[in-house]
Amino acid sequence: MVVTLGHDRAAHRGGSGSANDPLLACKPPNRQFFHGFARRRGLQPADCEEVTQGVSLSLSKAMPDFQYDAGKGKFRPYLKTATLHAIFEIK
């Protein structure tokens, strides 16, 4: 299954609720996920906020061209990897 996350995100919001829907895989909210993940890696609150903002901005820029392929894995590990890259840039 390949899902293109383009500018027509409204179609996904009313989707089938499938476990393969990457937009549903983002629960809990991304902000808490990014911030908590950075905090557990030992970053100070200000650095956690910087990671959260950086990852959110990077993902929002990447999403129009992003193609989710369930055969390559789940979406949440993709978010984790993006967050780790942002943490490594700060440290």
Per-domain residue ranges of the chain? 2-90
> Shortest CA distance to 24 belongs to which of 76, 66, 82?
76
**Cβ neighbours of residue 5 under 8 Å, at least 6 residues apart?**
12, 22, 23, 63, 64, 66, 67, 68
CATH number corresponding to 2-90: 1.10.1740
Tell me if the pTM is above 0.85. no
Instruction: Report residue 77 as tokens.
Output: 């590990």
**Average pLDDT of the chain, as a whole number:** 75
Between 91 and 32, residue with greater pLDDT: 32
